Each structure stands twice: as structure tokens, then as C-alpha cells.
């Protein structure tokens, strides 16, 4: 299943910069960065739960925001991109 994660981490304080780096590094372990604050992850339910739980621990819930969009398994025609492209490969699939 394709899971899209977007985040806003409040970086007005140094601690925010640190959280931002941690969130980015965490997401990089599971998926592909498609924009500065957007990742696309190919996940199964167990991995989705792990990602959710991990991010919940990393952010400051009063200041930061993470959104999850479940695109399902047949997501090829649900994702589109214009402008500068980043090649993303999940197995044989390719979103351009």
C-alpha cells in the first residue's frame, strides 16, 4: 500500500530543527522523499503502524503536524506530478 506522509515541524526554536532532522531521517528509513516535507512509502499494515508510532514519538504534538494519506494498493493512477521530477521506484513501479 502506498502511504504518503507530509509534515510541518515548527523550527522557530533550535529544538524544532533537531526534531525536523529526526523526522526526516526516520522517514528516509521507510520511504522515498519526493518533496522537502513529503515522503512516499510502500508499506504493509505492520510497517504503517510502526511508522505512525515512531513519528508520534518524534514530534512535539503541540507544535508539529504530520498527515498520513493512504493511497491503497492500486495507486499508480492516483499520483501525479508536475514540474521538477524526482524518480521514485517501488519494485517495478515508477512514478514520474
Nearest 5°: the CA angle 82, 72, 53 is: 100
Q: Tell me: does residue 45 bind a second copy (CB under 8 A).
A: no
Selected binder of a second copy within 22, 32, 79, 90 (CB under 8 A) = 79
C-beta of 42 vs 64, nearer to a second copy = 64
The CB-of-44 to a second copy minimum distance in angstroms stands at 16
What distance in Å separates the CA atoms of residue 61 and residue 55, rounded to the nearest whole number? Answer: 10
Q: Tell me: does residue 71 bind a second copy (CB under 8 A).
A: yes
Please give the annotated binding residues for Mg(2+), written as ranges.
Answer: 8
Radius of gyration of the chain (CA): 14
Amino acid at each position: 500500500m502506498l502511504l504518503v506522509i507530509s509534515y510541518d515541524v515548527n523550527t522557530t526554536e533550535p529544538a524544532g530543527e533537531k526534531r525536523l532532522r529526526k523526522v526526516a531521517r526516520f522517514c528516509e528509513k521507510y520511504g522515498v522523499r519526493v518533496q522537502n516535507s513529503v515522503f512516499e512509502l510502500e508499506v504493509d499494515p505492520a510497517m504503517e503502524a510502526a511508522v505512525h508510532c515512531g513519528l508520534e514519538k518524534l514530534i512535539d504534538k503541540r507544535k508539529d503536524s504530520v498527515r498520513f494519506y493512504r493511497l491503497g494498493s492500486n495507486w499508480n493512477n492516483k499520483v501525479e506530478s508536475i514540474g521538477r521530477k524526482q524518480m521514485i521506484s517501488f519494485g517495478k513501479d515508477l512514478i514520474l
